[in-house]
Amino acid sequence: MEALYHQTTFECAKLITQRYSTSFTLGIKTLAKKYHYPIYAIYGFVRYADEIVDTFHGFDKARLLEEFTKDTYKSIEEGISFNPVLHAFQRVVNEYKIERELIDAFLRSMEMDLTETVYNQHGYEEYIYGSAEVVGLMCLRVFCEGDEAEYQRLREPARRLGSAFQKVNFLRDVKSDYQDRGRVYFPGVDFSQFTSSDKRAIEQDIQEDFDAALEGIKNLPLGARQGVYLAYIYYLKLFQKIKGLPVKMIQDHRIRIPDGRKMWLLLKSVARHRLNAI
């Protein structure tokens, strides 16, 4: 029955991914099957931590996050939790030797969302590292399956991919972050006077991240390459859509890719992968 419990907790993480993100669900489905449960578990963990700081406004978020953090480390140390999200996550952490430093950095970024609203350059870089880059590194630990040399070789491109994704999210979510939560992640930017020049400078930085990340994707293990490439293509298309819009549009609307378009991108990425045209 222990095996059934393990499987059930991973199925919970899978359900969370499916409910919260159609794009990540599509990406995971194109990974080799051995990676499915571990990546679902990582997504479930980071998704629920993010929910604490962004959703439960009628509760003491700091206390909830503190308890979540304590329960996370307890589950890792003891190898068990009756919180299914944490149990699945600790299984992956312990099996793939995911460093505590990565988890610390992630939870620190979640904590920053409770107290920080305007970021300087150092805080901006720290937040992106903890909220996005380390998630890519956790996934890379899974993909490399204990091959330390491969992990170190692909570490920097994985960070750049996470950075690109997060910065695109910041642009996509300007309306909700700034108007609803009072957050300004981009250092030195005043969204009450956001200009086309500000937008172009941010876009140039994001493009550099995308370019650096692609070289790493090409060298991922075969079973991981297609799924990561799909996520890359999805975010690149979202980024290109944002680039083509005026400042006023991204300030007033949350930009997205329709589900039908996502499916088309999936089919296109599969074809390119099979033709070795990445």
Residue-level pLDDT, tens digit, the chain, 278 residues: 899 999 999 999 999 999 998 878 888 998 999 999 999 999 999 999 999 998 998 999 999 999 999 999 999 999 999 999 999 999 999 999 999 999 999 999 999 999 888 899 999 999 999 999 999 999 999 999 999 999 999 999 999 999 999 999 998 888 777 777 778 888 988 877 888 999 899 999 999 999 999 999 999 999 999 889 988 988 999 999 999 888 888 777 676 666 666 555 555 555 555 556 55
Identify the pLDDT of residue 179. Answer: 73
Show the tokens assigned to 87: 């149990």
Identify the pLDDT of residue 62. Answer: 96
CA distance to 38, 244, 258, per residue, from 237 (Å): 27, 11, 11
* Separation of alpha carbons 174 and 217, rounded Å: 28
The identity of residue 16, as a single letter, is I
Name the residue with tokens 């030195």: 188
Show the tokens assigned to 152: 């170190």
Identify the pLDDT of residue 175. Answer: 76
* Separation of alpha carbons 248 and 30, rounded Å: 36
Are 31 and 217 spatial neighbours (Cβ–Cβ below 8 Å)? no
Q: What are the start-end ranges of the E strands in the chain?
A: none
Instruction: Give the 3-state secondary structure of residue 241.
Output: helix
Number of helices and strands in the chain (H, E): 14, 0
Of 140, 53, 52, 61, residue with least CA distance to 96 = 140
pTM: 0.90
Are 31 and 231 spatial neighbours (Cβ–Cβ below 8 Å)? no
CATH 1.10.600.10 fits 2-274, yes or no: yes
Of 110, 105, 132, 104, residue with least CA distance to 65 = 110
Contacts of 118 (CB under 8 A, 6+ apart): 183, 184
Are 231 and 27 spatial neighbours (Cβ–Cβ below 8 Å)? yes
- Count the neighbouring beta carbons within 10 Å of the beta carbon of residue 142: 21
